[in-house]
Amino acid sequence: MSKKTLFYVLFFFFLVIGFYVVMSNAGPGFKAITTPPIGTVQPFAFQNQDGATVTEKNLEGKVVAVEYFFTTCKGICPRLNKNMKSVYEEFKGEKDFLILSHTCDPETDSSAKLKHYADSMKVNTAQWIFLTGRKDSLYNMARHSYKIDDPANNLQSTEDDFLHTQFIALVNRKGEVVKIYDGLKPSEMKLMSKQIRKLLKS
């Protein structure tokens, strides 16, 4: 190795060491670079399975798993909610964890219909909440807050628009969407459970 090459190697070595030392001893004003949230929960008002209004205020300080489905679905929804049920069972009784299941078909899924569905699932609806409301508001939340459907799918006609997604948004205590999971894959649901535990400890 030539002297010139050795010089540059040593120079960059000490440069890296120096940078590390400076960052390690930085004052309280120094903030590490973090990945921004995928999305944030925007204000909303929907009706739950009991006809009561649920808003973003009900999510404050909670870790929340968010999905969309509809009660008459014969395709992905039964598998999606079977997998979600395993997560529910794991965290059942955890006061700071919620599941929000929004209907994709509010014209069919009234509060009463959602109540019947929730009863068939045998879940505590204080922890697993089923929501209905205006179709455009439901879809806007999915696409712009929870980021589980492409906003480009939004059609000019609300009547012709239909959302059908297997993705689940995980929201932290600050109302930030931190991760999107594929609800049809048990491996993804296990990863989500691990992340839920981490978020509950934070």
77 labeled binding residue? yes
Query: Could you write out the DSSP letters of every residue in 11-49?
Result: HHHHHHHHHHHHHHT--TT-----PPPSEEPPP-EEEET
How long a stretch of residues is the chain?
202
Please classify residue 17 by burial: count the beta carbons closer than 10 Å to its beta carbon, then call 0-12 exposed, 13-18 middle and 19+ buried. exposed
104 labeled binding residue? no
Q: Calculate the alpha carbon distances from 16 to 1, 9, 10, 66 in Å.
A: 21, 11, 10, 43
Which residue positions form the known binding site for Cu cation? 73, 77, 164
Which residue positions form the known binding site? 73, 77, 164
